[in-house]
Structure 1
Amino acid sequence: MPPGPRGGDAIDAAIDDSGAIGFVSVCRGDDPTSRYLTGLDAEFDVVYVRLPGETHLRVPSTVDIPDGDAASIRVDDRPAGQAAAAVLAAQAETGTVLTPQTVPHDAALHLESAGYELSSTTAVQDARATKDAAELDAIEGVQRAAKRAISAAAVILADAHVEDEALVWSDAPLSTERIRRQVNATLAVEGVDSAGATTVTTGTRGGRESAVELVPGEPIVVSVSPRGPTGYRGALARTFVVDADGGWERRAHVACAAARDVALVEADPGADAGFVGSEIRAETAAFGFSMADEVTRDVGGGLGLSAREDPPLDGDAELATGNVLRVRSAITHATHGRVELTDVLVVEDDGPRYLTDAPTTLDPSRWTE
């Protein structure tokens, strides 16, 4: 379990580089940044103050003071800016204070009226983009659960049979909703939260919000983005076809698989993240699919305590060792439906690797071999 607060070293470096006296953030409830900075799974607001080498948290009197060996935690019911200023005063009565761009306006006013000049920093955002060993272990554990959940869907589809041009499983018509429930049940058994992100879609008939009965020959996309007990997310999507005829969906799947492989070639430390994203799109389109109308724009980006973090795969950031990326290749057609493959990749010193070895096949029976 990833221990305690994070980001302190990165904030200290930013303080030192800028000549500031400290850093202040107002952490809102269970916001991922709050969990990252405080190490707490809290539903209440926390005033976070970092002095060089020291973390100070101020919480309201309406809650029990949480345990926090790595931080000084005290009750303070004053407005956030005033509570932070009181901590800063032990270091200096004036000076520059670093804050994220999201610092509330009223907190900023209180800090400025107390004599502090504010300067925006992306230190926390940048630190979150690179995962340490404990964070990577947490994400990898969620990915294992995601693989088992997708496997549960594959087993159901492999066991289904065709009756009156529909798929039947366990003596009843098989629908997107029945699969979604089984996938979520598997995630629960694995000890992770579906986070409301499990989707099962088929063909061109929807399936995201309602139960759609499944038929042979249509691509069925099962996608999960579960959240583990420490808050870290995973992401996995696979496409299945029962009784495929080898038509459009086969060609689309070959294109998505090739695009998926491109990330293993291009996502090295020092590579341009936007270039990796453009190569994924270009490889997908190389199989004759329209870049404008069929190839997905969302090819992924950073993943951690949030499903979407830095670095995005459509920006100009440089990939670094420790980046964990959601890599997505997908093709959508107005008549045939959608094919998608999504995985989680980690950038390591000797190159990238996917965190699971989940099969990519369209044939669900291959998952049971």
Structure 2
Amino acid sequence: MPSGPRGGAAIDAAIDERDAVGFVAVCRGDGPTGRYLTGRRLDTDFVFVRAAGETHLRVPSTVDIPVVADAASVRTDDRPAGKAAAAVLAASASESEGTVLASRTIPHDAALHLESAGYDLASTAAVRDARAVKDETERETIESTQRAAKRAVARAAEILARSNVADEADGMGPDGVLVWDGAPLSAERLRRQVNARLAVEGVDAAGETTVRAGSRSESAERGGGVERDRSERDEGGGPKDDSAVELIAGEPIVVSVAPRGPGGYRGALARTFVVESGGGWERRAHVACDAARDVTLVEADPGASAGFLGSEIRAETGAFGFSMDGEVTRDVGGGIGLSAREAPTLDGDTELAAGNVLRVRAAVTHAEHGRVELTDVLVVGADGPQMVVDAPTGLDPRQW
């Protein structure tokens, strides 16, 4: 984990700009906001208060008082979060009333307690915007996670490259089924091997590893993220358990990982493989996705419009004859860090800034042919964009 809390300067700037008395956040100990603000994962919910340039934390008495670097005070307080925060503000802020900044997600009861204590609540995006720009240490941490992601996808490529194609006469399965290590290779077997490699690399699969086989399945992922399941449902019908789906030669197989490193920072990588590809639809779809991937290395400059980048990814994919409404993915990515999805989003009029780290995704889905997808993590550098980790993009798993 990058050392020390983050966001203090940005919060102080927002407080000064709004002439506020302080900032309050009610955090989950294992949530990304809490990890960002404290520099560590806490095993409890807590109240975070920033006032007069100092940080104060309040935790329940049921836990040991944690050590948090640079915090002026860390104490127990079993009162409701809003009352605990109001008490800290009364003791630490220069004024006993006025505007208090908070994120839009502050619990309703906490907001009511602060208002009843005489404070006017105003929302701020200071923490969200600060998290969108990663410093050098954060970028190095993301790169480490992304390297683990690459090695996990490489494991899938290795297995696919070593697989044989079954002939019904040999008793290993129906014609065309891939056979590995003496048995038909299913999406679930491949997913487990990918997750095993992630574990060896010291990162958490985070319930986000998916193997999508041809047009016969949505994903072999169990217990995956709600956001990911929703995006798949929007583009291809309801997700279903395809853990027993056997992989077949000539069909596109999408292997996607989004692991979480030891410090909480995420990676994201997806590649599409075809064993004994005959060309045709998947080849054209792959060329489209690869071209869209290249667009990100041209358009993701500091000062460029994030929304324009997103539209260019979609437009370049569609330029190869795919429907923008029914085939080209709408989820082309956005910021990545302590969350798999954070600011900036690739829509609207937000400008990209040096230090933004983006998950960039190009994908095409067809009801009969299946899906082709390429996903990478890109950093917006002062001198231009570059992939955090470069990985082969070809359909042939032997290229790895």
1: CA distance, partners of 2:52 / 2:285: 53
Q: In the alignment, what sits opposite 2:299?
A: 266
2: CA distance, partners of 1:103 / 1:149: 37
TM-score (norm 2): 0.90
Query: In 2, are the aligned partners of 1:219 and 1:249 still within 8 Å (CA)?
Result: yes
Query: In 1, are the aligned partners of 2:211 and 2:253 still within 8 Å (CA)?
Result: yes
Q: Is 1:167–2:170 an aligned residue pair? A: no
- Classify the secondary structure of the residue corresponding to 1:50: strand
Q: In the alignment, what sits opposite 2:161?
A: 158
Q: Please list every run of 5 or more consecutive structure 2 residues that lacks an aligned counterpart in the other structure.
A: 168-175, 221-240
- Aligned residue type for 2:183: A
Q: In the alignment, what sits opposite 2:311?
A: 278
Please, which of 199, 224, 229 is the counterpart of residue 210 of structure 2? Answer: 199
Using the TM superposition, give the Cα deviation of residue 131 of structure 1 relative to its aligned residue in structure 2, in angstroms: 0.8
Please, which of 305, 318, 340 is the counterpart of residue 307 of structure 1? Answer: 340
Query: In 1, are the aligned partners of 2:38 and 2:69 still within 8 Å (CA)?
Result: no
- Classify the secondary structure of the residue corresponding to 2:287: helix
Q: Is 1:69–2:69 an aligned residue pair? A: yes
1:92-120 alpha-carbon deviations (Å, 9 max, x no partner): 21121111111112111221222212111
- Aligned residue type for 1:192: V
1: CA distance, partners of 2:12 / 2:260: 29
- Classify the secondary structure of the residue corresponding to 1:89: helix
2: CA distance, partners of 1:268 / 1:364: 32
Q: Is 1:84–2:95 an aligned residue pair? A: no
Q: In the alignment, what sits opposite 1:114?
A: 117
Q: Is 1:244–2:277 an aligned residue pair? A: yes
TM-score (norm 1): 0.98
Q: CA RMSD in A?
A: 1.0
2: CA distance, partners of 1:3 / 1:313: 29
Q: In the alignment, what sits opposite 2:23?
A: 23
1: CA distance, partners of 2:297 / 2:367: 30
1: CA distance, partners of 2:244 / 2:7: 43
1: CA distance, partners of 2:100 / 2:166: 68
Using the TM superposition, give the Cα deviation of residue 253 of structure 1 relative to its aligned residue in structure 2, in angstroms: 0.4
1:249-277 alpha-carbon deviations (Å, 9 max, x no partner): 11110110000000011010000111001
Q: In the alignment, what sits opposite 2:191?
A: 180
- Classify the secondary structure of the residue corresponding to 1:264: helix
Using the TM superposition, give the Cα deviation of residue 52 of structure 1 relative to its aligned residue in structure 2, in angstroms: 3.1
1: CA distance, partners of 2:249 / 2:192: 20
1: CA distance, partners of 2:117 / 2:331: 44
Q: Is 1:220–2:253 an aligned residue pair? A: yes
Structure 1 runs (4+) greater than 3 angstroms displaced: none
Q: In the alignment, what sits opposite 1:49?
A: 49
Q: In the alignment, what sits opposite 1:35?
A: 35
Please, which of 254, 257, 266 is the counterpart of residue 290 of structure 2? Answer: 257
1:7-62 alpha-carbon deviations (Å, 9 max, x no partner): 11100000111111111111123221111112231232110000132110000000
- Aligned residue type for 1:30: D
Q: Please list every run of 5 or more consecutive structure 1 residues that lacks an aligned counterpart in the other structure.
A: none
- Aligned residue type for 1:190: E
- Aligned residue type for 1:62: T
Query: In 1, are the aligned partners of 2:5 and 2:69 still within 8 Å (CA)?
Result: no
Using the TM superposition, give the Cα deviation of residue 4 of structure 1 relative to its aligned residue in structure 2, in angstroms: 2.3
- More deviation in 29-38 or 158-167? 29-38
2: CA distance, partners of 1:133 / 1:338: 35
- More deviation in 68-77 or 147-156? 68-77
Q: How does 1:318-329 map to 2 (within 5 A)?
A: 318-329=351-362
- Aligned residue type for 2:162: D
- More deviation in 62-71 or 34-43? 34-43
2: CA distance, partners of 1:288 / 1:221: 21
Q: Is 1:190–2:201 an aligned residue pair? A: yes
Query: In 1, are the aligned partners of 2:149 and 2:198 still within 8 Å (CA)?
Result: yes
1: CA distance, partners of 2:358 / 2:257: 15
1:135-157 alpha-carbon deviations (Å, 9 max, x no partner): 11111100000000000000000
Q: Is 1:349–2:382 an aligned residue pair? A: yes
2: CA distance, partners of 1:69 / 1:234: 26
Query: In 1, are the aligned partners of 2:250 and 2:276 still within 8 Å (CA)?
Result: yes
- Aligned residue type for 2:214: G
Q: In the alignment, what sits opposite 2:140?
A: 137
2: CA distance, partners of 1:125 / 1:333: 36
2: CA distance, partners of 1:195 / 1:181: 13
Query: In 2, are the aligned partners of 1:274 and 1:314 still within 8 Å (CA)?
Result: yes
How many pairs does the alignment contain?
367
- More deviation in 354-363 or 108-117? 108-117
Q: State the percentage of identical aligned residues.
A: 73
Please, which of 92, 96, 113 is the counterpart of residue 93 of structure 1? Answer: 96
Query: In 2, are the aligned partners of 1:15 and 1:52 still within 8 Å (CA)?
Result: no
1: CA distance, partners of 2:338 / 2:18: 28
2: CA distance, partners of 1:161 / 1:104: 55
- Classify the secondary structure of the residue corresponding to 1:66: coil
- Aligned residue type for 1:49: V
1: CA distance, partners of 2:11 / 2:211: 41
